[in-house]
């Protein structure tokens, strides 16, 4: 006679508690206010300046908020709040020099900008004639435009070869390696190369704006190549294969399908490369030279750009006014710096707008 074994009832599993306490939404603001109060109290008691007060308040915020979260919530939430605080702190630290730079340039440079400042050159025909940056502004536009004319076709065609034709071949890998090397070369090296090439062709006394365009193109080409290459690789292969299936040749597929699809990113990369080189000084000091006159011919004569003007005016500021204040050269340098920053900001905004406008439209 066999004994019957009755199976035991399964042990009930306790459901996880999903209703954990959470800090209120205003908890970060409360901790920030407390941290600022702590930094202010310590600063007043110890005679600190505003910078140590802010640093103490930041450290207190990063420490106190995760501790409060650890007590009320759990370890995971505390770690999340700690990392979020560290990320925002790093962002704030990185923003401080940028805001300080822009504020200083606006405060000191904006008052110098006027119609006269933008339409007169540094060349004087009388002692009472006002001076301005017109010659440097036109030189910047002409030299940068010449660099773009040289760099954009070379960069785009090189990227097309790397992505569409070269594949994993030796030549494509060699071009990619050289582009990566050129991306990291100092601007003065590019200027020395262009200067050596220019004097070999036209003599040691030759100076021209087009030589500066050649120097800047050495800095622009790697940026254009890398930006175009990345955009071309983002184009889906399905588009290429669909075009090939319809009997369209490869070159026409690239011109009519691939390039229009990647046009937004390519234009953005080109615009950012222009913004990158428009502030270069060292190459242009060597090959484009310095002049106080307005020269609109890039192939003959010296041509000044805004960065070169800012450098030379700051290096030779002139005699300060009798009543005190900055020398006239320093004022011109601040005004030129303000105009240059505005140009760079406009180029960056244009790159964003162009990229958004030419981006492929998505639909359902």
With respect to residue 124, please indicate whether it lies within any of the assigned structural domains.
no
Q: What is the model's pLDDT at position 224?
A: 92
With respect to residue 230, please indicate whether it lies within any of the assigned structural domains.
yes
With respect to residue 12, please indicate whether it lies within any of the assigned structural domains.
no
> Based on the structure, what is the number of domains in the chain?
2
Question: At residue 21, what are phi and psi to the nearest 5 degrees?
Answer: -65, 145
pTM of the model: 0.80
Residue 217's Cα: distance from chain center in Å? 18
161 and 79 within one domain: no
348 and 212 within one domain: yes
Q: What is the model's pLDDT at position 360?
A: 63
Q: What is the model's pLDDT at position 1?
A: 47
151 and 47 within one domain: no
Could you give the CA distance from residue 59 to residue 346 in angstroms, rounded to a whole number? 37
139 and 103 within one domain: no
163 and 36 within one domain: no
In this structure, how many other beta carbons lie within 10 angstroms of the beta carbon of residue 301?
Answer: 16
With respect to residue 113, please indicate whether it lies within any of the assigned structural domains.
no
318 and 257 within one domain: yes
Could you give the CA distance from residue 313 to residue 274 in angstroms, rounded to a whole number? 24
351 and 227 within one domain: yes
Could you give the CA distance from residue 318 to residue 327 in angstroms, rounded to a whole number? 6
151 and 79 within one domain: no
138 and 103 within one domain: no
Q: What is the model's pLDDT at position 19?
A: 62
Block means of pLDDT (10 residues each) for the chain, length 364 residues? 55 56 86 89 86 87 88 87 90 90 91 88 80 89 92 92 86 88 85 86 84 90 91 89 89 89 86 87 85 86 89 84 79 91 88 75 53
Q: What is the model's pLDDT at position 364?
A: 44
Q: What is the model's pLDDT at position 13?
A: 53
Domain containing residue 93: 27-107
Q: Which two tokens stand for residue 137?
A: 């502004």
With respect to residue 22, please indicate whether it lies within any of the assigned structural domains.
no
């Amino acid at each position: 006679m066999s004994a019957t074994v009755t199976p035991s009832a399964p042990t009930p599993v306790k459901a996880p508690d999903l209703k954990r306490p959470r800090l209120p939404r205003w908890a970060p603001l409360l901790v920030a206010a407390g941290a600022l109060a702590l930094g202010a109290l310590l600063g007043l008691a110890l005679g600190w300046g505003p910078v140590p007060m802010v640093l103490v308040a930041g450290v207190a915020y990063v420490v106190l908020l995760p501790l409060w979260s650890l007590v009320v919530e759990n370890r995971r939430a505390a770690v999340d709040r700690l990392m979020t605080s560290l990320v925002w702190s790093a962002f704030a630290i990185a923003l401080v020099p940028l805001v300080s730079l822009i504020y200083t340039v606006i405060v000191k440079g904006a008052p110098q900008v006027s119609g006269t400042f933008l339409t007169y050159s540094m060349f004087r025909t009388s002692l009472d004639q006002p001076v301005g940056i017109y010659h440097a502004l036109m030189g910047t536009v002409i030299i940068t435009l010449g660099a773009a004319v040289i760099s954009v076709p070379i960069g785009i065609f090189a990227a097309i070869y790397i992505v569409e034709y070269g594949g994993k071949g030796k030549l494509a890998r060699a071009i990619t390696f050289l582009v990566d090397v050129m991306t990291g070369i100092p601007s003065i090296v590019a200027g020395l190369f262009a200067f050596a090439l220019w004097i070999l062709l036209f003599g040691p006394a030759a100076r021209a704006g087009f030589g500066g365009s050649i120097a800047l193109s050495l800095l622009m080409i790697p940026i254009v190549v890398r930006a175009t290459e990345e955009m071309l690789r983002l184009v889906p292969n399905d588009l290429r294969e669909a075009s090939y299936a319809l009997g369209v040749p490869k070159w026409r597929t690239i011109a009519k399908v691939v390039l229009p699809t990647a046009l937004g990113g390519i234009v953005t990369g080109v615009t950012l490369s222009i913004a990158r080189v428009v502030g270069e000084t060292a190459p242009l000091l060597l090959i484009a030279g310095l002049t106080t006159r307005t020269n609109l011919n890039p192939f003959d004569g010296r041509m000044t750009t805004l960065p070169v003007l800012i450098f030379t005016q700051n290096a030779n500021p002139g005699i300060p006014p009798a009543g005190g204040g900055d020398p006239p050269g320093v004022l011109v340098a601040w005004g030129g710096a303000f105009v240059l920053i505005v140009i760079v900001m406009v180029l960056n905004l244009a790159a964003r707008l162009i990229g958004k406008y030419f981006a492929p439209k998505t639909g359902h």
